[in-house]
Structure 1
Amino acid sequence: MDSLTQIVLGAAVGEAVLGRKIGNKAMLYGAIAGTIPDLDIISSFFADKVTALEIHRGFTHSIFFSALFAPIAAFIVSQFEAYKNKKDWSWLFFWAFITHPLLDAQTTWGTQLFWPLDIRLAFKNIFVIDPLYTLPFLVFLILAMRQKKTSKKRRFYNNCGLIISSSYLIFTLILKWISYQTYTKELAAQNIQYIEIETKPTPLNTILWTANVETDNAFLIGHASFFDQNSINFSRYPKNHHLLGDLINHPKMKRMIAISKGWYIINKEKNNLYFNDLRFGALSIKPNATNFVFKYKIDVDDNGTPFFIEEPKNKQDGQKLLSELWLRIKGN
């Protein structure tokens, strides 16, 4: 999830654990701890693209990290804070650390919660930025912050934020199930044979859902709103994996394919090959859009090793996407 959401979650968790004893400092330290797992983004400055992608939401988003670094953080903080109970500080940091990846596991990228096991949890029931999750949570947190640390209202407001936000996550799982049923029925009605299907919400909402559908030689992408009246139209994208030639057997290419979970297409533009990760869709929901969110130019060094250069994103595409979403959410 986005940084603001993780700050709010961390602050609310910190308050729940230690707010009665240290007041707003519990929110402050919870908010700081809630952002620490995302420091793995630093890897993008010194590692190659594939390695950085593998590191992202890996070790720092694991139970192992939370259990290991919570007491370390507690020891450090207890050295200069008036409140010295290391056990209480450890619980604050542990829960602020661990709730971060638990929330991220609801998104498309997911998390390696059980690192070092190569298992990435990705339930794909919420977009990385969802105002319906964050804003009510933030309002209740601010209300709690304005109360005295011993006030019953403070605990009530904070608990409301935690309960409402968690309930919304459960609700999105129900919406995902409904969306999945809609797509499978539509595929059957259109007599489309498929290997696998994955559904996820489009940006900033849980009304319009998109599906990636794998067939033998292509991937299909469709969009369906709960307000739709007509059939779903699917855009077809040939896999074109053959364009990789012998590169498909290179260890680094295999790692990139593993990162995408196999949801990728290759296209050729001006004699350049591009690797497109389909899991995150395109910066447009128009049929046959090709401006994928994660698109990488494939270059090869003198040793025959492929390396990946991420294509820059056009800000105007993002603005257009918001307009397209608003119209499409209303139904087809």
Structure 2
Amino acid sequence: MFVKNMDSLTQIVLGAAVGEAVLGKKIGNKAMLYGAIAGTIPDLDVLASNFTDTVTALEMHRGFTHSILFSIIFAPIFGWLVSKYQSYKDFKGWTLLFFWGFLTHPLLDAFTTWGTQLFWPLDYRVAFKSIFVIDPLYTLPFIVFLLLTMCKKRSSKKRSFYNKMGLILSTSYLMLTLILKWVTYTKFENALKEQHIAYSEIDTRPSPMNTVLWNANVNTKDSFLLGTYSLFDSQPITFESRPKNHELIEAIKENDKMQRMIHISKGWYSISVRENELFFNDLRFGLMSLDSEAEDFVFQYKIQINNNGLLQFSETKKGRDDAQKLMKELWTRIKGN
């Protein structure tokens, strides 16, 4: 819940800054308000989880509402609706505000691990995997400059300066995360080479709330290797082996829902057993612990067959204590090995 709230806050701040950039000089703080609304609307796709099954909801998340097509179609609609009851009647101006508010939302999401279907209806997610869904170094400076902007009159040059600085710094940080991803990817790649490990693919991403500690999943023939690297590390990178256990779902592997879950995970999944129950683990988002024996993956789904003989997936719940424990472990690991 905390992660989702912080993610929403980040999108609200970005949307508000974009709204200010488009119409701030003409309508003042109202531009921020409507920009914040525009920056929130794409995430209403999460409501799908209340009306459909887990697999379908996952497929829909960051789908149509996060596409360029959505921005093109719905920006004029919202622009027309708002221009009808606001004193500022410029349809074009309102349309541009909603267009950029809608579009910058998925553009930011594209830097995260889950990615976004920018080119929907094409079944392809743009995912640079260079920033966690929330990152204080991105959001907090942005908030400061947005507050400074709000305190100035709409005709003030400083108002425009503060808003531009917030957008420039946040965008620059996103570009920096791509550089850090390249640097850390190279570190993992070199470590695998030095340890003579044969692999077919590497998947890297930053750990929660920072871009200092990075995680890697490595695909080998019989298992996945998990590794971590901090920019402050002084010791060589080590990798922990995790069995794929794909044979445990051999009997249901061709089931439509199972195939869809495998597709959603991009093949980065393992199967685990606990108390005679099977669990589908999406490895792309890591574990809720740095313990080498941990099995509590961030995105873990219990595999069940219902009374009608249909395959179902239900996400395992994570508690606040789990998150607090993880953050303490991350803070210790960030400082180096």
What is the TM-score when the length of structure 2 is the normalising length?
A: 0.97
Pair 1:297-2:336 in alignment: no
Q: Helix, strand or coil: the match of 2:252?
A: helix
**Counterpart selection for 1:35 from 37, 40, 44:** 40
For 1:213 and 1:289, locate their aligned partners in 2 and report how far apart those are by CA, in whole Å. Answer: 18
Structural mapping, 1:217-232, within 5 Å: 217-232=222-237
For 1:210 and 1:288, locate their aligned partners in 2 and report how far apart those are by CA, in whole Å. Answer: 16
Pair 1:53-2:58 in alignment: yes
Cα contact 1:234–1:287 (8 A) shared by 2:
no
Give the counterpart letter for 1:18 in structure 2: L
**Residue in structure 2 matched with residue 212 of structure 1 by the alignment:** 217
Q: Helix, strand or coil: the match of 1:129?
A: coil
Q: Helix, strand or coil: the match of 1:15?
A: helix
**Counterpart selection for 1:8 from 4, 10, 13:** 13
For 1:288 and 1:168, locate their aligned partners in 2 and report how far apart those are by CA, in whole Å. Answer: 34
1:221-258: CA deviation from partner (whole Å, max 9, x where unpaired): 11100111111121111111110022100111100100
Q: CA deviation at 1:140?
A: 0.4
**Residue in structure 2 matched with residue 121 of structure 1 by the alignment:** 126
For 1:317 and 1:84, locate their aligned partners in 2 and report how far apart those are by CA, in whole Å. Answer: 50
Count of residue pairs the alignment pairs up: 332
Q: Helix, strand or coil: the match of 1:295?
A: strand
Q: CA deviation at 1:303?
A: 4.7
Q: Helix, strand or coil: the match of 1:64?
A: helix
Q: Helix, strand or coil: the match of 2:302?
A: strand
**Counterpart selection for 2:178 from 173, 177, 189:** 173
Structure 2 unaligned residues grouped into runs of 5+: 1-5
For 1:303 and 1:176, locate their aligned partners in 2 and report how far apart those are by CA, in whole Å. Answer: 46
For 2:249 and 2:319, locate their aligned partners in 1 and report how far apart those are by CA, in whole Å. Answer: 27
Cα contact 1:15–1:158 (8 A) shared by 2:
yes
**Residue in structure 2 matched with residue 249 of structure 1 by the alignment:** 254
Q: CA deviation at 1:286?
A: 2.5
For 1:283 and 1:162, locate their aligned partners in 2 and report how far apart those are by CA, in whole Å. Answer: 32
**Residue in structure 1 matched with residue 334 of structure 2 by the alignment:** 329
**Counterpart selection for 1:269 from 271, 274, 280:** 274
**Residue in structure 1 matched with residue 30 of structure 2 by the alignment:** 25
Cα contact 1:235–1:288 (8 A) shared by 2:
no
For 2:60 and 2:290, locate their aligned partners in 1 and report how far apart those are by CA, in whole Å. Answer: 30
Q: CA deviation at 1:271?
A: 1.6
Q: CA deviation at 1:302?
A: 4.4
Task: List, as ranges, runs of 4+ consecutive aligned residues in structure 1 with deviation greater than 3 Å.
Answer: none
For 1:131 and 1:151, locate their aligned partners in 2 and report how far apart those are by CA, in whole Å. Answer: 28
Cα contact 1:62–1:114 (8 A) shared by 2:
yes
**Counterpart selection for 2:290 from 285, 289, 294:** 285
Q: Helix, strand or coil: the match of 2:19?
A: helix
For 2:293 and 2:73, locate their aligned partners in 1 and report how far apart those are by CA, in whole Å. Answer: 47
**Residue in structure 1 matched with residue 243 of structure 2 by the alignment:** 238
1:19-60: CA deviation from partner (whole Å, max 9, x where unpaired): 010000000000011000000000000100000000000000
RMSD (Å) for aligned C-alpha atoms? 0.9
Cα contact 1:252–1:305 (8 A) shared by 2:
no
**Residue in structure 2 matched with residue 156 of structure 1 by the alignment:** 161
For 1:231 and 1:317, locate their aligned partners in 2 and report how far apart those are by CA, in whole Å. Answer: 28
Q: CA deviation at 1:304?
A: 3.7
**Residue in structure 2 matched with residue 105 of structure 1 by the alignment:** 110
Q: Helix, strand or coil: the match of 1:34?
A: helix
What is the TM-score when the length of structure 1 is the normalising length?
A: 0.98
For 1:247 and 1:300, locate their aligned partners in 2 and report how far apart those are by CA, in whole Å. Answer: 10
For 2:195 and 2:203, locate their aligned partners in 1 and report how far apart those are by CA, in whole Å. Answer: 18
* Percent of paired sites with the same residue: 63
1:147-174: CA deviation from partner (whole Å, max 9, x where unpaired): 1111100000000000000000000100
**Residue in structure 2 matched with residue 182 of structure 1 by the alignment:** 187
Q: Helix, strand or coil: the match of 2:328?
A: helix
For 2:321 and 2:302, locate their aligned partners in 1 and report how far apart those are by CA, in whole Å. Answer: 21
